[in-house]
Structure 1
Amino acid sequence: MTQPKFASRAAWEQANLLMQPVFIRVLDNLRKALEQSPWKSTYRNDPIWPDGVSKETQQQVLALQHRLASATPEEAPDLQEALSRLPQPHPGYVLCLQHQAHQVNIDLWQLCYQICFRNYSPVLSLADTVVVEVDTSLLDDTGDVDWQKLDAKTAQLVEQMFASLPDIS
């Protein structure tokens, strides 16, 4: 997945202000929707790598992280030093929904981006040149989060997502 690109530092700061509240609202709305749904859920943490990191480098980083997890105190500094010279992934969160033979995986960051950015589509994330536009309607006149608008947009998107799931009746 390509990371969002911003037109300006100010746009990045607005997105930075919104993303944590958006993520929390997404999780809360998903929890509420799942309580009323026959779908069962699990979460998966998939690493998201910076653009251009080769598969070989990814495997090297993961192997070093794995070794570090069980390293002795003597081995740890060398492993940490080796990792510090390599690109690091950030966590990607995938909601895995299952009902009988149906399984659907939903990238939670993509849901958050659809809330945080205007006219964002997951298909856009595949293009390297798309600059995202922060949905400034989610900010009040002082530049802070407008909680009511954020709650409404999040609830609407989660509702649409559940409505688009395969028909299980």
Structure 2
Amino acid sequence: MKPQFQDQVAWVQAELLMQPAFIRLLDNIRKQLDQSDWKGTYQDVQTWPEGTPEAIQAQVKHLQAELATASPEQAAEIEQALAHLPTPFPGYLLCLEKQDQQVQIDLWELCYQVCFRNYLVFQDSSDPQAVEIDTSLIDDEMGEVDWNRLDDKARQLIEQVFTNLPAR
């Protein structure tokens, strides 16, 4: 679920945290994979706004494919048509595999769990609420990322993910 922000300050704080959190998650995933029997790969996916019908998704994909080979005139028309349609945003899956077991984990969801307080509570709510930034990850005096706290939270989350993987 794409997070909603309470105000511009929360948006700026999220921008500050998201990229470093994503990097720390990937690094901690790598470390866990090195110590695990699981093999991991990453997969790019398109995530659509909630409620986007399959027909609209197919139309957007078709127009995007046409755009790759379109003349400049055609490209302008296609871009104008795309501007009026929902736009998918990039998503990333961690695909884990061990023997005959497979698990897919949405990396943005993990990133949100690191950056926001009680993210799972917001995610499970039927009433979309603004997320609350975990400001403990931002150094109060400098207004910069507290890398130690960020790394600790990312490490703990990834350790929990790997601990909860099916055992066999």
Task: State the TM-score, normalizing by the size of structure 1.
Answer: 0.89
State the alpha-carbon separation in 2 of the partners of residues 19 and 151 from structure 1.
Answer: 13
The equivalent of 1:148 in structure 2 is: 148
Aligned residue for 2:117, secondary structure, equals coil
The equivalent of 1:71 in structure 2 is: 70
State the alpha-carbon separation in 2 of the partners of residues 67 and 22 from structure 1.
Answer: 35
Q: Deviations over 1:6-51 (max 9, x none)?
A: 2222112111110111111111111121122211122222211224
The equivalent of 1:162 in structure 2 is: 162
Q: 1:109 to 1:125 in 2, by over 3 A?
A: farther
Structure 1: gaps of 5 or more residues: none
Greater displacement, 76-85 / 143-152:
76-85
The equivalent of 1:35 in structure 2 is: 34
Alpha-carbon distance, 1:115 to partner: 0.3
Alpha-carbon distance, 1:124 to partner: 1.6
Alpha-carbon distance, 1:128 to partner: 4.3
Code of the aligned partner of 2:143: G
Q: Deviations over 1:64-112 (max 9, x none)?
A: 1122234355643332332233221110111110111111000001100
Q: 1:62 to 1:125 in 2, by over 3 A?
A: farther
Mapping 1:1-150, distance limit 5 Å? 2-72=1-71, 75-121=74-120, 124=123, 127-141=126-140, 142-150=142-150
Equivalent pairs: percent with the same residue?
Answer: 54
Alpha-carbon distance, 1:127 to partner: 3.2
State the alpha-carbon separation in 2 of the partners of residues 59 and 123 from structure 1.
Answer: 30
Aligned residue for 1:41, secondary structure, equals strand
Alpha-carbon distance, 1:126 to partner: 6.2
Say if 2:122 and 2:131, in contact at 8 Å, map to a contact too. no
Code of the aligned partner of 1:65: Q
Alpha-carbon distance, 1:122 to partner: 7.6
State the alpha-carbon separation in 2 of the partners of residues 94 and 138 from structure 1.
Answer: 24
Task: State the TM-score, normalizing by the size of structure 2.
Answer: 0.89
Q: 1:59 to 1:150 in 2, by over 3 A?
A: same
State the alpha-carbon separation in 1 of the partners of residues 109 and 48 from structure 2.
Answer: 15
State the alpha-carbon separation in 2 of the partners of residues 92 and 128 from structure 1.
Answer: 23
State the alpha-carbon separation in 2 of the partners of residues 166 and 109 from structure 1.
Answer: 22
